[in-house]
Amino acid sequence: MLEEMLNSGGNLIIVDRADCSGQSLLKSFLVAAAHGGDSIHVLNFDVPEDEFHAGFDPQVAARLKFHDGFWDPLNWNGEAELPASPFTLQELQARIGADAGPVTLVLASLSWVLLHSPVTAVCHTFQHFQRHAKSTGLNVQRIIGLLHGDLHEPAIVASICCLAGTVITVSPAPSSEAQAVALILQRRKSRKVVRVSECFTILECFVLKSLGQHQPLLEPAGDEEVKPAAEADPAANLTFNLRLSEEERSAKESLLLPYHLSAEVKSSLLQSHAGVAKVYYEPDAADDLDEEDPDDDLDV
């Protein structure tokens, strides 16, 4: 599924953490967009420019338009090329300029922007930029954002991820064959939500290779038998008893249900009596049948 997503459009968020970087996966999507003919505008805050360019082939490097926010990101020296704030629609549009071809916008990383701009402003810009760019004549095919999930509160990460059509969360691989595991959440136009866990590795020049879906539970090796999982007992460890003894079960089965009709009443009801009405009364066990004092059961 990862390889099929390389050339799709829309908003994409890659969520990584300190023990598993998503930088190489981000570059794989960047390379695929470059080979597809897109101009790549990179808003970089994470690493120096020469480090970000390392490993790209000349064809891809020629399509990169780098906006450096790594040096002086807070504009302390007054020479910032790309300050982290403000992060607005107009600011992004000014960065892209009058680029007439298809554009892929890369935010590396979105975390630095979130740490220095209001969350609401970042969410608004990320959600509406493609539509705003289209209204001004720009052709923004895709926005790819790298988000360091362990730098933010879970609610902030969830808020940003809700705005993306596809969210890829990377985690360490269980074996040495794969570089990482990608947990993919994709919201399709049909409103169907797809969740897939897939192992992958990154080859030379950031070529993505999928290793198939990741199975969280490993199969037993050799002739080892698979033991069925023990069924949970819902009546265990309760402060009250849910089970019936044999005596209680017998009493329950012999109990007549309320409004249970006798055979005589059933037979009479099934017969047609033209112009005749009858009233049948079957007393309950607790009824007071003392005709001398009919109100004896009242607490007066």
Tell me what pLDDT residue 217 has. 42
The pLDDT-based confidence of 117 (bands split at 50, 70, 90) is confident
- The whole-angstrom separation of Cα 205 and Cα 54 is 9
Residue 248 has pLDDT above 70, yes or no: yes
- What pLDDT, in 10s, does the model give residues 125-170? 888 888 888 888 888 888 899 999 998 999 999 988 988 889 999 9
Residue 98 has pLDDT above 80, yes or no: no
Least confident range from 9-18, 21-30, 179-188, 224-233: namely 224-233
The pLDDT-based confidence of 72 (bands split at 50, 70, 90) is low
Mean pLDDT of the chain: 80
- What pLDDT, in 10s, does the model give residues 193-235? 889 999 999 988 888 888 888 765 444 444 455 455 567 777 7
Q: Express as a percent the part of the chain with pLDDT over 70.
A: 77
What is the pTM (predicted TM-score) of this model?
A: 0.66
Domain boundaries, the chain: 2-213
User: Class of the 2-213 domain?
Assistant: alpha beta
